[in-house]
Chains A and B, each alone.
Chain A
Amino acid sequence: MEFKDYYKILGVEPDVDAKAIKTAYRKLARKYHPDMNLQAGAEEKFKEISEAYQVLKNKKLRSEFDELRQYQGKAQHGFQPPPGWSASHHSSTRGSEAFNGEFSEFFNSIFGGRTQSFDSSEYGQPRSGQRGQDIEVELPIFLEETLNDCHKSVEFIIPADRYTQTQAYKKHLKVKVPQGVMDGERIRLKGQGKPGHNGAMAGDLYLHVRVVPHPLFDVHGHNISITIPLAPWEAALGTRVSVPTLAGKINLTIPPDSQTGDKLRVKGKGLKTKKQSGDMYAVVKVTMPKETSATGKRLWQELAASEDFNPRQEWSA
């Protein structure tokens, strides 16, 4: 087993006072807390820091740790607790989704189940009948799938359990995702999380809905938008274009003198819930051809000569 020098982990000297330990912990927690730092490895680092702080903030545990640290200095190979050390066989769980309840082997063999916090329900041995852990997984879903109820297969991992000595295993579920589900919503599946201890309730499974970005449509609440590229003459003269919607194509009349950015509302072609139907907005984008033919050039020149239009009028004031 590897000896963990909690002073080194917190970056303090072994003779510092409790206040310095708290300050060092706060600085590191601010830097590595998984809610602030999403980089890979930050969570592991925070676990280590948190473990060190649990021990060093507690006078009694700190002095026990100091003793062990002295003893470690004399050891030749690896770390073994001194003979007769009252190692608890308890280990820790913590009901937090970020940590999945694991402190190091070193911590568990020396201090397991004995820190102040570990006596509370958040830590320590599972209370008799402790509810199983909730699990959250992402559920990618296509925009088209939200228009009706849809059936999705979900695969997720139930984490290993020290107490029941069960290995992590994969679980499959078929889920009926109701019509009108929105990006960011969480679907709760009662009792599909980690099994509870001693016959207690299982945790829940949460499916965090992620609507996959669509190549054509953008989503604004219950409404969607699509960009319609138009040739300059189509924008000038007006036209009728076939426009895709989430459910087949429709013909849309573009009025003459349309501008880039103009929005045309198509009622009822947005996202649908049981209660309401959103709209689709077709947004005009005037697009120039990449190359212009000789005839085209001549016609543009005619137009340039005959029209009195200054697109930079705002600049001349």
Chain B
Amino acid sequence: MTEALFSISFKELCQVEGIESELIVEIVEYGIVTPLDKNTDARPYDQWLFDTGTIHWIKKALRLRQDLEIDWLAIAFVIDLMRQKETLQKENELYRRQLKRFTKINPASD
């Protein structure tokens, strides 16, 4: 049985894509990802812990930088909009399902 983890350490994050630690600090400074302990100034960065979703966004950010040759500020904007879009899509799905329950006699049947 493999242990399920919900976090990743700063050191592990550096190993994943062979990213320099300074680059991760920069990505955090741009707000592209945030450590779990939000009070980042209080801790040295090598003790930061991230949730596992962080990897997904860091990979996306690196890919955008590599493929589209855009700067970190623009990437921070793009990632922020992508996240907002994801949240809105989820909310939209939820509201559609709820609306169906109110407008159909037997919504569970379709």
Contact = CB atoms under 8 A, between A and B. Distances in A.
Tell me if chain B binds chain A. yes
Interface of A: 26, 29-30, 33, 35, 46, 50, 95-98, 117, 121-122, 127, 130-131, 134, 136, 151, 173-178, 183-190, 192, 201, 204, 206-207, 213, 215-216, 218-220, 225, 227, 260, 285, 287, 290
A63 to B, nearest CB: 22
B5 A218 contact: no
Interface stretch (B29-37, B39-47, B53-61): B53-61
A188 B94 contact: no
A247 B15 CA distance: 43
A239 to B, nearest CB: 20
Contacts of A35: 60, 63-64, 82
Contact of A29 (B17, B51, B55, B68): B68
Contacts of A227: 98, 101-102, 107
A29 to B, nearest CB: 6
A35 B75 CA distance: 12
B56 A186 contact: yes
A218 B94 contact: yes
B16 A134 contact: yes
Contacts of A192: 2
A174 B52 CA distance: 19
B8 A176 contact: no
A26 B68 CA distance: 7
A184 B5 CA distance: 15
A216 B98 CA distance: 10
Contact of A176 (B1, B7, B15, B66): B1
B105 interface: yes
B4 interface: yes
A94 to B, nearest CB: 9
Interface in B9-37: 15-18
Nearest to A187: B4
A174 B3 CA distance: 10
A185 B97 contact: no
Given A33-B68, A187-B52, A285-B102, A96 B4 contact: no
A95 B58 CA distance: 12
Nearest to A94: B66
Given A98-B63, A131-B16, A188 B8 contact: yes
Contacts of A117: 66
A186 B93 CA distance: 20
B5 A190 contact: yes
Nearest to A96: B63
Contacts of B16: 131, 134, 204
B38 interface: no
B6 A187 contact: yes
Contacts of A287: 105
B5 A188 contact: yes
Contacts of B18: 95, 121-122, 127, 130-131
A207 B3 CA distance: 12
A289 to B, nearest CB: 11
B71 interface: no
Contacts of A127: 18
A22 to B, nearest CB: 8
A58 to B, nearest CB: 14
Given A188-B6, A220-B94, 14 more contacts: A35-B64, A96-B63, A98-B63, A127-B18, A174-B2, A176-B4, A184-B53, A185-B53, A189-B3, A190-B2, A206-B56, A227-B98, A227-B107, A285-B102
A287 B68 CA distance: 54
B52 A188 contact: yes
